Amino acid sequence: MRTLLLTRSDVEALLDPPSLVEPLRAGFIAYSASASGRAQRVRAPLPGPSSATVLFPGIALGVPAYTVKVHAKFPGEDPAIRGVLCLHDVAKGDLLAVMDSTHLTAVRTGLAGALAAHVLARSDGVTAAVIGAGVQGTQQLRALAALRPLERASVYDIAPERAEAFARAMRSELHTPVEAASSVATAVREADIVLVATWSKTPFIVPGMLAAGTHVTTLGPDEPGKAEVDANVIREGLFVCDDRALAVELGALCGIGLGDDHVDAEFGDVLAGTHPGRTSADQITIYGGVGLAFQDAIAAWQVYEAAKARGVGRAIDFLA
């Protein structure tokens, strides 16, 4: 049995984000419709600057393989998330590939957050605000711009130089006006869609800050103790998540003390039409995603198939 070893640069070259959108959409629908195969993860604290190491086993409808991803977060490093993903044949358990998980995780997370924003936001929403000028801010804005036309965007980061650099880079890439803002309030004031991904442990999207009809995607809270959106904003709006239990256990509801009675729907239910999603132009909608391992399986299978077709990667026999 030969296993493909794929580096971060290999994954970057092989992953095709636009072609992941429809498989991810189908994956969300299947996930929320199923009573089994719900998200599982093993999290353990590490000594030193890392927040934790996490193990994710992933399966997805239509993918003849399963993934096991092990990675850890190091907020002071670039990239901050580091790890590997193992892709196994689902029938025999053969190890098909071992690949860097950094880029794959960033892309699938950004795509999922942007897809939720596109579906839940007003159809005429053309202005965006990004809070957190990091990898996820980049991935979300890039993905959102591919899903709908944007007329302009603003960005805020606690490090002004990062916001300025982000604005310059995204202006050049998207050919859209992108400006650095001096505060969160300034950034979101005229935004139809707000994309948030930070390390914050204190909510900073607070009542009175958002205009009527705004959508917020919050991806920072993916472990206990993190929070971006105030409890009263969620109470007053429509809150949709990727996984109901995980939203309470470690996601957007965890850090602000809310329970699953504040979950209006899972995203898969909205995509399937079993929940209407937004019901008025004035409604504030919030999507809180922790990231689900079926997304890894979909993305990793695409990378593996492309690697085989193009002859990319180094093959090794671990059983030799």
C-beta contacts of 90-94 below 8 A and 24+ residues apart: 90/59, 90/63, 90/64, 90/65, 90/66, 91/64, 94/1
DSSP class of 255: G
Average pLDDT, the chain: 94
- Residue 29 confidence (pLDDT): 97
Mean pLDDT score, 67-89: 88
The tens digit of pLDDT for each residue in 96-130 reads 999 999 999 999 999 999 999 999 999 999 999 99
Q: Do residues 22 and 29 touch, judged by C-beta distance below 8 A?
A: no
Checking if the pLDDT of 77 tops 70, the result is yes
Quote helix, strand, coil % in the chain, to nearest 5. 35, 25, 40
Q: Which CATH number fits domain 3-105+293-316: 3.40.50.410, 3.30.499.10, 3.30.1780.10, 3.90.330.10?
A: 3.30.1780.10
Checking if the pLDDT of 74 tops 90, the result is no
- Residue 50 confidence (pLDDT): 64
Angle between helix 293-310 and 102-120 (nearest 10): 120
The tens digit of pLDDT for each residue in 249-283 reads 999 999 999 999 999 999 999 999 999 999 999 99
Checking if the pLDDT of 216 tops 90, the result is yes
CA atoms of 86 and 164, how far apart (whole Å)? 37
Altogether, the residues listed in the chain come to a count of: 320
Could you give the percent of the chain with pLDDT greater than 70?
A: 98
The tens digit of pLDDT for each residue in 187-215 reads 999 999 999 999 999 999 999 999 999 99
Pairing of strands 314-316, 3-6: antiparallel
Q: How confident is the model at residue 51 (pLDDT cuts 50, 70, 90)?
A: low
Checking if the pLDDT of 44 tops 90, the result is no
Which is nearest to 17 in space by CA: 133, 117, 121, 143?
143
Domain spans in the chain, listed from the N-terminal domain onward: 3-105+293-316, 122-288
- Residue 40 confidence (pLDDT): 73
CA atoms of 110 and 42, how far apart (whole Å)? 22
How far, rounded to the nearest angstrom, does the alpha carbon of residue 312 sit from its chain's CA centroid? 27
The tens digit of pLDDT for each residue in 174-187 reads 999 999 999 999 99
Residue 274, CA distances (Å) to 26, 33, 266, 267 in order: 14, 10, 10, 10
List phi, psi (to 5°) of 216: -125, 130
- Residue 159 confidence (pLDDT): 97
Residue 80, CA distances (Å) to 22, 98, 103, 130, 198 in order: 28, 20, 11, 19, 12
- Residue 62 confidence (pLDDT): 92
Q: Provide the β-strand partners of residue 55.
A: 42, 70
- Residue 134 confidence (pLDDT): 94
Global confidence as pTM: 0.94
Residue 38, CA distances (Å) to 43, 190, 223 in order: 16, 37, 17
Q: Do residues 57 and 293 touch, judged by C-beta distance below 8 A?
A: yes
The tens digit of pLDDT for each residue in 158-173 reads 999 999 999 999 999 9
Q: Which CATH superfamily is domain 122-288 in?
A: NAD(P)-binding Rossmann-like Domain (3.40.50.720)
Checking if the pLDDT of 45 tops 80, the result is no
Checking if the pLDDT of 293 tops 80, the result is yes
Which is nearest to 77 in space by CA: 134, 132, 140, 131?
134
- Residue 120 confidence (pLDDT): 98
Q: Provide the β-strand partners of residue 86.
A: 68, 98
